[in-house]
Structure 1
Amino acid sequence: MQLIELRNHLETLLDAQRLRDYCPNGLQVEGRAEVARVLCGVTASQALLDRAAAGGHDAVFVHHGLFWKGDDGRVTGFRRQRLRTLLANDISLFAYHLPLDVHPELGNNAQLARLMGWEGEGRFADQDLGWIGRPSGSVQSADAVAQVLADRLGRTPLLVGDGGRPVRRIAWCTGGAQGYFEQAILAGADLYVSGEISEQTVHLARESGVPYIAAGHHATERYGARAIAAHLTRELGLAAEFVDLDNPV
């Protein structure tokens, strides 16, 4: 299909214009006009771009792209090498940050809930980025939820606060969303799950009585890009694949 057709499809699907973000969403680097093969991943790292070049992919789709507000705009060092790989191989780069987090079916939050069996019933925090709902099955403790996360994500999460607290309402927001913890508490959560944790998060968990689980930034954000790969194959007939490059966080 034509690159412009893929761009228009993704723009409609992910509706990037409705969100305030701190990076440009959409087509970040323009490559060849025809697209047949797409490689999807979490971050536009050199390793992912090398994999795309070696595999003859026409485009790359990621959650974390190349350009962020506040970055040094000079094209040197690793930025030069990443851009050189894309341009020398005529590969397009699509990046969708917050739009991929919030999509109701293909987004990171929706896909994490699907993996864990959580049922989203509402939204909270800035731009409704956070999700809140019910955990799967009977009421579990925070410790039990952490164990299931470890099993399904393949990574041991960090739980702070009261691990024995029964979890009837669970809130989550993938990636680096520890700043929404207080809003999750106010929304009525018995447990909040995100990717990262900050020093002050520990104190809030202890003082509020609401435990917090840091399950990993990369670990919680693998599933949106994977869902996009499946969507592009199913809906557009593209040869789209997801690759999960090792990242311990």
Structure 2
Amino acid sequence: IVHHGLFWPGLQAIRGVLRRQLRFAFENDIALYSVHLPLDIHPKVGNNAQLSAALGLKAPQPFLEEKGQPVGLKLCGSVSRRELVRKLQKALNGSVKVFDFGPRKARAIGIVTGAAGSEIYRVAEQNIDTFITGEAPHWAAVAAEELGINLLLGGHYATEVFGVKALAAHLSKRFRVPWEFIDCPIDL
């Protein structure tokens, strides 16, 4: 099970590195199951849902639609920005880039794992005061300041391992097969 498959952002010629990767999989009888966007948004084993659970956030609601499908979760409550950052660092087992331009008490938290920082204006339209994602372009941090939003960047890879682990655990339990997570972090 992988999050990002070999064919992204779409079909491409099978040569070079891609050809070697596919040959290795075929020659070693490896089945590859890639579930990028469905695994981001799945309500139970998805990256967003699993990250919100790891942060101890309750009652997530879908938000930020893309082509009629919500791609993130909105959580309402009251948690200090400092405590939220601490929980996020612990959940991700690493550092978090903090752009503390919003309130010290987060009351409307948006989560979209991966690379959703460029959605900062759409996030602001949803009345989010604290936005958690993996990565963002430079201009999005400037926009967060202008909009008065806390922007917490945990890393693209780090925010997208939750779903793969949860799906593997679910399938392991259901079909009684072992699984192992192979960690390949890149500091992005």
Alignment TM-score > 0.5, same fold? yes
The percentage of counterpart residues that share the same residue type is 35
Match of residue 90, structure 2, among 122, 142, 151? 151
Displacement of 1:202 after TM fit? 1.3
Q: Following the alignment from structure 2 to structure 1, what is the Cα–Cα distance between the partners of residues 185 and 138?
A: 26
1:134 alignment partner, one of 61, 71, 76: 76
**TM-score, scaled relative to structure 1:** 0.69
Show the counterpart of 2:8: 68
How many angstroms does 1:242 deviate by? 2.1
Which residue pairs with 1:172 in the alignment? 111
Does the 8 A contact of 2:51 with 2:91 survive in 1? no
Number of residues paired by the alignment?
A: 185
Q: Is the 8 A contact 1:63 1:225 kept in 2?
A: yes
TM-score, with length taken from structure 2: 0.90
Q: CA shift at 1:153, angstroms?
A: 1.1
Q: Determine the structure 2 residue equivalent to 1:53.
A: none
One-letter amino acid of the structure 1 residue matched with residue 166 of structure 2: A
Paired with 1:121 and 1:84, the residues of 2 have a C-alpha distance of: 42
Structure 1: how far apart are the matches of 2:149 and 2:9?
33
Deviation at 1:87, TM superposition (A): 1.0
Q: 1:208 to 1:185 in 2, by over 3 A?
A: same
1:85 alignment partner, SS class: helix
**Structure label with greater radius of gyration:** 1
**Any residues of structure 2 matched to 1:12-161 within 5 Å, and which?**
61-70=1-10, 73-125=12-64, 126=66, 127-134=69-76, 139-141=79-81, 143-161=82-100
In structure 1, the gaps of 5 or more residues are 1-60
CA distance in 1 between counterparts of 2:14 and 2:105 reads 51
- Cα distance per residue 1:105-158 (max 9 Å; x no partner): 0000011011111124322221200110135xx5312x4322321222122111
Q: Give, in whole Å, the separation in 2 of the partners of 1:197 and 1:179.
A: 6
Where structure 2 has 5 or more consecutive residues not aligned to the other structure, the ranges are: none
Aligned to 1:15: none
Q: Deviations over 1:216-245 (max 9, x none)?
A: 111011110001111111112222232222
Deviation at 1:89, TM superposition (A): 0.8
